[in-house]
Structure 1
Amino acid sequence: MKIRLPRRFLYKMILFCLLVGTLPLIFLGVFSYYKASQTIEKKVLQGNMQILTQIHSRVEQVLKNVDNSVTQFVNSSFVNQAMNKPLSVDDFQTVDQLLTDLYYFQTFELGVQNVSLINFNREWILSSGGVSRFDNGKASPKLSEYRSSPLLSAWETENYYDSYISSDDPKGKKYYSVNLVKKVPINSPNPVGLAIARIPTYELNKNLIQNAELGEFLILDRNYQIIAHSDSSMIGEDVSHAPYMGKLIALNSSEGYFEDRQTGISFRKSDYNGWVYISLVSITAMNKESREIGWLTLIITLSSILVICIISYKGSQRMYSPIRKLHTMVADGGGASDRETTDEIESIGHSILHMMQTQTKINNQLQEQIPQLTYFFVLRLFQGELTAREIKDKLPSLNGAGHWKILQVIAVQIDTLETTRYEEKDKDILMYAVNNIVSELIPVHNRLNPIVIGDSLVTLYGTLKEDMDLIKAEVNDLTRKIQKSVGYYLELPISIGISKPYHDFKATQRAYHEALEALKYRVEKGQPLIVSHDEMDSVESNKLSYPVQIEQELLDAVKVLDKERIRPLLHQFMEALTAERMNIKQYELSLVRLLVSIVRFVQDSGQSEVIWTEDEKSLLNQLLELKNLHEIEKWFFDVIIEPIIDHISDSKEDHYTKIIEQVVRIIEENYNKDVTLEMCAASINYHPYYISKVFRSQTGVTFSDYVHKFRMDMAKKWLVDTDMRINEIAKQLGFYNAQNFIRSFRKLEGLTPGRYRELYSKL
């Protein structure tokens, strides 16, 4: 009965994954929101303070330029002289010069709209409107305030009406201006007049409007009256009783920042004229982006937590699955039946402890399997399936193979059983006997266990020696003994292939293929043979000399089904290959080329349904596995060519019909040319002699007679059905002149072409 096991470890795993995944994410979300809020607020405040500094700098730059200009004007000797004159009608030149000087103040850059020069003693006033009489008794209160002020130079705020000032103010009359008031002469204990430069507040407001979207900006004079504001309707209002002004006045600092009732206030106080530059920013509006980031962070965090929960649950189940399976196996085996309340890992731990207690018994069983394990190790080594680490771990247990300096692969193959007393069914027993002989002749400390792979007995030979000449002599001596012993005891011809020497066991697979490739050298040298792969490399690779003419004759013999010529031609082809000194690759290429030519002939002749063999191996693999020229020659005839001949013989009539149809079609398409038997043969890939023989046997006439008769039939048709002249018909039929055509026609029909037309065209 299967035991029902608890799943405590799964629940612990899910809880752990959730805690590890969600807690850092929640912390990161909170931290990100807090940090983003702080950063946005800091950046907005820094930006507003920079804008406020720029406004302060631009406004004071304008004011100082106006101040310097007015100072230079009133300090000029010309003005000082004019202040001592009554400026009557006779002084029009002086007035004109003063007006010209005053006009230069009214520039676009400075924003000055009007400059007035007042002389209290001489009772005249000069402005952009001209010179007029000034009555001290009727002076305005503001002007009287300027006159009695102890300040020699000051910036004052005033409600002012001037018909020359244009504005977009809907009130149309009332304007606020800031006036630079200077006593004349400057620094005199008894000034006789005033110089007043008026700048409308909307000129100062231009510095604020372009930055209005970043906050509420305003400029206050010394009495905390607004002289510039982002909202022009606020100009002139007294804000000294505003909630935030108490804190601002109390701060003894030239600039700073504080908060009051969800409003952030940045300010700068001017040392030049006592004005205050203020920026008001709503903290709620400033934190709007922070809240958006907060919501986005919350959504992302919750989504991530949901994904983490799903992943934690699914991932924990997946990771728990092998533990659960292992735990179930242990429980089903009885190892955990008394521990149902324990954790799965603990239960598995007890089971592992139980397994360790049985390790000695398992080791004893493994010792019995060492021969099989060794066999599979050597097999995988030859097949290149072992890693360097696996080879290094195993070598110390293989008769000191880990200390070998040089290693080579020796491959042994049975050449043939045809001339021996053995049959094919005895091959496995014979390979076992050869294995025993090889194992006895090669010392244990110089080899790994020989194994059978396919048709080859393969062993890895190793030695501690490093002298290559000595090693080569030793290997040659051992292989000769092996070949001689097998021939003596088993009366069996064998060939032995030897690979190049290598230093690394990772090269075993390559050495194995080299040993097998060396055995292919029997194609040229015959058998039995002992050959090293080094000897193959020493063969000069001459330019491939392929017996094309013999191949063509062989194919022609196949086409005409001439078995008596096929065998000698095939033998002649093989002798032509061995007559040239070529390496094994060139032999293989030549044999493959012959196979391809035969296959192409089969396809071109429409005999592609020929089945050569029922063996699963491809024709190419069968060819490359043959060991000598005798086997190759026999294979080509028995497996390849003979089935073709048998198949063609069975379908001979259909084959002849197809040839006749192809030849007739060529004649009909080329009757007006010099059509020949050779041209037809080349077109359908058959020998001219064969085509001639088939054509005559099937039609009863020769090829040339058929062509001649077809042309004459065409001539008779044209003579009766058309008005073509005799010489035109001769030209169309490929005759050199009309006389030849007439003679040929008369010989065949017994009358001339003209007479034939006369007789048959009337019918």
Structure 2
Amino acid sequence: MKLLPQSFTSFKMNSIFIRIFFSITGLVLASVFIVSNISYRNSTDMMINEVKGNNMLLLKQIQESIDREVNFIKSSAMQASLDHRLIKALYISHDDSYYEAELYRDIITYLNSIKVNNDYITNLWVYFNKADIVLGSEGKYDSQLFFSKVCKYNSNINWEEVFHEYSPFHSAGRQEVEYDFTKMPVVMFTKSLPVNEFRPKGTLVVNLDEQFFYKVMEGNKEGKVIINYIIDSDKNIIFTNDKLYQENKEQELARSVLYNTQEIMDSDEGTLDTKFDGKPFTVQYIKSGSNDWTYISITPTGYISRRVNGIRDVTLFVAIMSMIFSVVLTYLLVKRLYSPINDILNYISIVNNKKLDKQKAESKDELKFINRIISYVYNENESLRDSFNKSHPILREKLLNDITGGRVTQERYREIGSDMGIDMPFPLFQIIVFEIDEYGSEVLKRHRKMNLSFVAKIDEIAGEALNENARCYSVQKDESNLVSIINANEMFYEAKGINEYLNKVRDYFVCQHDLTFTIGVGRPYSSMEECSMSFTEALYSLKYKIVKGQNTVIYIDEVKEIAGSIFEYPMEKEKKLVTILKSGDIASANEILLQIFTDNLSKRSMAPEMINNLFNALVGTAIRSIYEMQSSIIKIFGEGIDIYAEMSAKSLVEEKKSYVYFIFKCIASYAGDRKRCQNTKVYEKVKAFVAENYNGELSLERVAEVVQLSPSYLSFIFKEISGTNFVDFINEYRLEKAKDLLKSSSMTVAQVAEAVGYINANSFSKTFKRYIGVSPGQFREM
């Protein structure tokens, strides 16, 4: 404290301390006064806007959290609806369901895994129309027992309509469920099964615990009254947390405010200021991006004004305390700043008068201290420079990766680009991704890692292939991808220089390393920040390898023209294909497959996702054919074969087509073999019946009735097996018996005719001569 009186005494001679002190003090006091005044005047607007902003942010967080949960449930429901075990169970009858215990256990385990992965799914179950059973996450139930004892819904739900009318994944609203003798409010979601049939074979039901909504909304925060509602497109309330505010008088008015403002919520989100019963309310809403729900928060704004008055008093108190504190802090700060200056001045004075002893000089030698600091900084700088040179390749690779990801601005590049040895003077930036193909060299397959020299080699090829209008820098992105950043001007693209570069890269690696790449090329952009967009486009192009094949160059402009959003596979064509497969006609089945492939893959372009969906649908047709023949995949393809997994493992269109032809050929061959076996049994049964009844009436209709077939179909399979028609077979059999009787007995021709089943001797004689070539009498004499 001695410094202040001394400074006032020597104010005229040494005014540095005083000038700094009063200057900073005056500036701080003026700033505090101005800020306090402005803060007081604008506090009301700021408070209201802050509340609205925070409430809207909270509402968006609620919407995103709930939509994310609903989308997860929707995704889980879609995956379950495509599960081959569940699809198989849809076609099992009630009687057959007793023999499918293992299948049902697998489905129950699968449903339980979905429930375990989500803490808020109280239960989920599947109703099977044909078997009239329910499979839940805990077991298998008879439908009546399930709805009356296990999972009792207290609301009036028309289950007949739910189970037999097709509906996609949607919310059935809030329900109260008595599950395991515990009542709990839930939000119910339903989805018809299977996906590709409009006559449901079953229904998947998911119940989401209402506590999830309470947790997301979290009730009262910091004394705020925020009443939330979730309503659907029919204005039904799915959920509300108004029970948390039952003691608040304004809560009673909130629902009336909701009903008055529902009709004017016509945009995706918004804020409405309204009054009801003389009290102000702020209504904020946002519509869901994944379903028909609207999220609404209603806030009584009267309490904000009361808080503003409190803020006014606090602001005045803070302003006074800030002034006092600023004076004290300014004094201490200025004193600290002035002390080194004073020491330096004293040091200079002492040095000039040469009155400094060594110890005192060391204690007050600020210049040496500063010199030591400068020396230390210099040495540290040299150490950092050495470290930088050693880390230069890593830093250069990181910069290139950051440029690829769009995380480097033009300004940042100008600061560090030259230090990293990267020169990008041209206005256009383009990303190219090289992806190693599956049939690369054995070394790469074994190690799944690119040789780092490949990066340098690609840059070397680029330096030879690209002209003065372009630069190229490459970096290894991961174990199987390498990225090139092209920086060029417009003249480079007019000359199509990129094609020469890519061709040289491909030729070199094929010749030298037995290695092929599939190359994805993004568009050129006019700023470095947009490199991430070009990189994303290049990766997206590589998805179309399934269409174009490996060892190809795929430009984003090619794949962006592909507009096929759905595949063409009508239900009538699927039914026809199932019927043909069951008949064993592989030629007709191949004709239909060729037509499907032509309509979807040759006449138009399709996205990779739709191509995979088309082939999965064809696999589903094959499985449906197997089940309709009352057979199984094991009987046709053997143990351990999952045709869905085998299809997913095929990465190219031609591989998938070949596998589909193979599946259908196996099914048709199996159907044909089984059909021939059945026809042979019918033929043997007919022969046995004829042998026992050849001497009586043997019409085609009578025999058909015995073997339980139509006469026309019996005639068809009889000719197919024996090579002769039914009438000729009967005549030839009877005539063989007649020949034996003519040779071995003394019976007359008429008696022989009657014995072998002919009505009269005349008819017998004509038939005998037509088949044998001689009359019965002539035959006996031979």
Q: TM (normalized to structure 2)?
A: 0.31
Structure number with the bigger relative contact order (C-alpha 8 A, sep ≥ 6) is 1
Task: Report the structure number with the largest CA radius of gyration.
Answer: 1
